[in-house]
Structure 1
């Protein structure tokens, strides 16, 4: 028996923060989720799998476009026309009412647990190898209940668990996506457990296999590296599974770092950035760049490296239509302050960057813009604001220090 495990296609993903790119290029990037999904279906057909498991968040929202729903149906039909069984669940992004979805009408497609109740699906491969898939779909964006306890005991069939969920944490407000422990899943003793929700490809357990396949296409700089699907090959006498990862994403995200230890001209700065990105540029890539030691940049250079037009010009030197799409600035120099000054500085820093202070300053603007309101909720945005402020402060203190030393 062969099966494919995929998750988190996030069709219709908006790819926020990339709208500065040329319109045709931005359109191609937005189509990358569909391209990766098509490549996954191609792989399933080429590998002649018996079963395709879809572990939630196929769509990015509960309002998928008609185009993406029709696209999904066309791609699934390519599988079901070949009598390849597809078993799917809905996740916390696409918790749609099944009655309002354009779903394939064929015995070779099954949406599990559409009422949020754990459901079993039994079938056989073309060679009469019996298997069972157990899982459920979201009908709300949060599920705090313990669903593992609802999964039935394993029977004689080769048994696969299918779930869109996150591991339990010590932070209660995060435990809203069917919190579980790996030990709880292992106790079920299923032959394979296919997980979705976490976009990092990883195996939580080797015996038995409990696996996140990751998402199909990275959508921002925190989703770096190869993205794709797993092909599982079952040794039917022993029911042991071997996994192969197949990359399907047409675009990857990567970070690069430039470290400065002295002032630099714009010409040398540009040359070094291009050299660093070129070394990593082996396929179509969206790059983020961290400049460490940004306190050595002049005001003009700071403005330059924050300018998206500059990023576009740099990107013309890269292969595969790759692009630099984000620059981060960090101060790698510790401030040399007297004890009393350091205490005052630390207090000022904590007060300035307190979340309530930031929200208060941005309150009026966030009322006028949903985008601002959303971005203020992102910890990485607050961190970036802090870094930029520290770079600016480090730059000012460096200038003062240079003046003192020259007198």
Structure 2
């Protein structure tokens, strides 16, 4: 027995903030979620799996675009033509809405209702499989939905599809349909296919309780390899194996600019670091410039203003597959203060630049998902602190005032 577990496709995601990318790269970025899912379908056909599980947030928003619906319909038809059934649930982004506005999906596609259901099938080698799950009826499902799942009875295999959050675990994602591992284990299922958390991870090895993650990272918080799990029978157990499919990866590149006094030195250091990146995928790069406190105020100003980033992007127009979307100078705590007492600054900064204070001040901005994600970046307090230091230096509150070219 063999199947694919994928989740959080977020087809037609907007990828805000990358409109300055070259046309060829922008087209690849726009198509990235579609390309990733097509690769998953390719794998299902090549592996001749018994079925495919898609666990919530297939679309990026409840008002699915016609293009996203047509693409999903076409990919599911490819699976239908190969007699591969699909079991899908809708999550908090694509909750069940007006069915009359939806394009029909192929007959091989089984959609879990909001009230929950269990589907059964017989694999090509004659084994019986039960699949239990539910779809979101609205944007917010804050109650524990595990009571809707029946306990395993007399099938060879039982699989649960659950789009939700593990109770008590801190995450950048909102808490929906909370569950505990104890609750899931009490169902005696052979595999739990989870969705909602975008980082692929095994919460438990046996029986596997697994987040597939999203097949394509949508923002800098979703860096690294993204894909799906191919789950295969190994004796009396199911073994998940992760496969990457994202055509584009977000990545952070760290470059030391210690001692640099000329702009050309900084540029050359960045270009050397980028040239060392060997991933086959296109990369969207945030470049962090460490030891930036050693740069002159004039050079820092050219970085902070976006002038250097604009230059680097123009230089990469003909080789956009290593696209620098952000350039961030980073300070250490070894600055030489003149008019500002260092100890006082450090003590004040520790109190002021905290995730809690940032969340409180930025609370009115957190409604859009992309802003909420940006404000939850782990390095945001340090980044804001560094930017304040830069502004102070530029206003001659800190020592140093040499020229830069």
What TM-score do you get using the length of structure 1 for normalisation? 0.85
1:120-153: CA deviation from partner (whole Å, max 9, x where unpaired): 1111123321100011111222211111232111
Shift of 1:278: 1.3
1:14-54: CA deviation from partner (whole Å, max 9, x where unpaired): 11111111234212211111011111101100110110000
- Secondary structure (helix, strand or coil) at the match of 1:132 reads strand
Equivalent residue, structure 2, for 1:68: 68
Equivalent residue, structure 2, for 1:264: 261
Shift of 1:156: 2.1
1:337-381: CA deviation from partner (whole Å, max 9, x where unpaired): 799873476447746884499559xx8xx7xxx989946982339
Shift of 1:55: 0.8
Aligned ranges for residues 338-353 of structure 1 at < 5 Å?
342-343=343-344, 346-347=347-348, 350=351
Shift of 1:176: 3.1
Shift of 1:395: 6.5
Aligned ranges for residues 244-283 of structure 1 at < 5 Å?
244-283=241-280
Shift of 1:2: 1.0
Aligned ranges for residues 108-119 of structure 1 at < 5 Å?
108-112=108-112, 114-115=113-114, 117-119=115-117
Residues 187 and 375 (structure 1), Cα distance of their counterparts in 2 relative to 1, 3 Å cut: closer
Find the partner of 1:290 among 268, 288, 291: 288
Aligned ranges for residues 7-406 of structure 1 at < 5 Å?
7-97=7-97, 99=99, 100-106=101-107, 108-112=108-112, 114-115=113-114, 117-157=115-155, 158-169=157-168, 176-235=175-234, 238-283=235-280, 284-305=282-303, 306-307=306-307, 308-315=309-316, 321-335=321-335, 342-343=343-344, 346-347=347-348, 350=351, 354-355=357-358, 358=361, 374=371, 378-380=375-377, 383=381, 384-393=383-392, 399-400=398-399
Residues 187 and 387 (structure 1), Cα distance of their counterparts in 2 relative to 1, 3 Å cut: farther
Shift of 1:203: 0.4
Residues 182 and 43 (structure 1), Cα distance of their counterparts in 2 relative to 1, 3 Å cut: same
Shift of 1:159: 0.4
Residues 72 and 317 (structure 1), Cα distance of their counterparts in 2 relative to 1, 3 Å cut: closer
Shift of 1:256: 1.0
Residues 377 and 119 (structure 1), Cα distance of their counterparts in 2 relative to 1, 3 Å cut: same
Structure 1: distance between partners of 2:369 and 2:74: 37
Shift of 1:4: 0.4
- Secondary structure (helix, strand or coil) at the match of 1:400 reads coil
**Cα contact 1:294–1:391 (8 A) shared by 2:** no
- Secondary structure (helix, strand or coil) at the match of 1:184 reads helix
**Cα contact 1:314–1:324 (8 A) shared by 2:** no
**Cα contact 1:8–1:215 (8 A) shared by 2:** yes
Q: Which moved more, 1:347-356 or 1:161-170?
A: 347-356
The count of corresponding residues between Structure 1 and Structure 2 is: 391
Structure 2: distance between partners of 1:171 and 1:130: 37
Residues 356 and 175 (structure 1), Cα distance of their counterparts in 2 relative to 1, 3 Å cut: closer
Structure 2 residues without counterparts, runs of 5 or longer? none
**Cα contact 1:143–1:177 (8 A) shared by 2:** yes
- Secondary structure (helix, strand or coil) at the match of 1:388 reads helix
- Secondary structure (helix, strand or coil) at the match of 1:162 reads strand
1:149-191: CA deviation from partner (whole Å, max 9, x where unpaired): 3211111210001011111127799763111222322222210
Residues 260 and 105 (structure 1), Cα distance of their counterparts in 2 relative to 1, 3 Å cut: closer
Structure 1: distance between partners of 2:293 and 2:97: 53
**Cα contact 2:7–2:58 (8 A) shared by 1:** yes
What TM-score do you get using the length of structure 2 for normalisation? 0.86
- Name the structure with the higher helix share: 1
1:208-259: CA deviation from partner (whole Å, max 9, x where unpaired): 1011111111112221111111111124xx4311222222111112111112
- Secondary structure (helix, strand or coil) at the match of 2:220 reads coil
Shift of 1:298: 3.2
**Cα contact 1:331–1:394 (8 A) shared by 2:** no
1:38-78: CA deviation from partner (whole Å, max 9, x where unpaired): 11101100110110000111111111210110110000000
- Secondary structure (helix, strand or coil) at the match of 1:280 reads coil
Structure 1: distance between partners of 2:31 and 2:39: 12
